[in-house]
Structure 1
Amino acid sequence: MNHTLQVVIEYDKDGYFAFVPELKGCHTQGDSLDEVMKNIKEAIDLYWSTLRPAEIKRIVKRRVFTTSMPVSIG
């Protein structure tokens, strides 16, 4: 079975940080975008390998949304 997960990638002076909102605690980092993408794929594979079938079903049914929201600064 295939499922698409959202991956959030952030960049700052120390490198790249990635996490998967659907998979609590699934996160990684890397010095480059290629490295963080490779690392998050490995983290996702490891995370999936620890789950029971019922947990996988629950995650697959979960709906996660992202949006933009204007805010006042200052």
Structure 2
Amino acid sequence: MKYTIVIQWSNEDNCFVVLLPDFKNEMQPITHGETYEEALKNGQEVLELIMEEYQEDGKTLPQPKTFIFA
């Protein structure tokens, strides 16, 4: 499954913060990084951990949202 990872600069935190909009029940933002690349890597790692946790707990993974650009 493919999930969306949103990375935004935070002036307040002085770093890139990572959001997983498909996982509304998880604390948002879920991680961060000093660089965009670090934030993406951290976001991917957290996404994998969340997916593993869902599977171990027998929870159904949410359906990935589809974005349509006109």
So what's the TM-score if we normalise by structure 2?
0.71
Q: In the aligned structure 1, how far is the partner of 2:32 from the partner of 2:16?
A: 5
Higher relative CO (Cα under 8 Å, sequence separation at least 6) belongs to 2
Q: Equivalent residue for 2:18?
A: 18
The structure richer in helix per residue is 1
Q: How many Å separate the matches in 1 of 2:52 and 2:21?
A: 17
RMSD of aligned alpha carbons: 2.2
Identify unmatched segments of 5+ residues in structure 2: none
* Residue 48 of structure 1 pairs with residue 46 of structure 2: no
Same amino acid, percent of matched pairs: 19
Superposition TM-score, scaled by structure 1 size: 0.67
Equivalent residues, number: 62
The Cα shift of 1:21 comes to 0.6
Give unpaired runs (5+ residues) of structure 1. Answer: 68-74
1:39–1:17 distance in 2 versus 1, CA, 3 Å:
same
**Larger Rg: 1 or 2?**
1
